[in-house]
Amino acid sequence: EAQVTQNPRYLITVTGKKLTVTCSQNMNHEYMSWYRQDPGLGLRQIYYSMNVEVTDKGDVPEGYKVSRKEKRNFPLILESPSPNQTSLYFCASSSLQGAGAPYGYTFGSGTRLTVV
């Protein structure tokens, strides 16, 4: 089954304790991206990657890191989480259409992160 798998689904952590949210896709998609969803703000892009070893900042990259060492994996790293990073996080992937534009995203099930 074609899917994007995120882990964990739920995470409660303390301020400053490094954490990683994993994301893996089995569709051989070039494009992968991380979004955070907050009430009233919609989905805001954190980072995206066009291919292996190619990453770029989205609209809200501060406090986050990513890596793309393999095509299928795109982990999100919070080196020193803070309470304002409490949010619902989604990983998404897509194939690339003409001009390198992402087509419709396939989203993971989400990770609900609480930083206390």
Partner 1 sequence: GQQVMQIPQYQHVQEGEDFTTYCNSSTTLSNIQWYKQRPGGHPVFLIQLVKSGEVKKQKRLTFQFGEAKKNSSLHITATQTTDVGTYFCAGRRGGYQKVTFGTGTKLQVIP
- Find out whether the peptide bond into 8 is cis, omega within 30 degrees of 0: yes
Question: CB 43 → partner 1: shortest distance, Å?
Answer: 4
> Per rule CB under 8 A, is residue 74 in the interface with partner 1?
no
Collapse the DSSP code of 85 into the 3-class scheme (helix H, G, I; strand E, B; otherwise coil) and give the result.
helix
Q: From 16-24, 54-62, 65-73, 74-82, give the range in contact with partner 1 by CB under 8 A.
A: 54-62
Segment 76-105, which members bind partner 1 (CB under 8 A)?
A: 90, 92, 99-105
Distance, in Å, from the CA atom of 86 to the CA atom of 114, rounded to the nearest integer, reads: 5
The token duo for 96 is 């690339």
The token duo for 97 is 């259409």
80, 52 Cβ separation under 8 angstroms: no
> Per rule CB under 8 A, is residue 27 in the interface with partner 1?
no
Query: 58 or 63, CB closer to partner 1?
Result: 58
- Find out whether the peptide bond into 102 is cis, omega within 30 degrees of 0: no
> Per rule CB under 8 A, is residue 109 in the interface with partner 1?
yes
The contact set with partner 1 (CB under 8 A) reads: 31, 33, 35, 40-45, 48, 50, 56, 58-59, 90, 92, 99-110
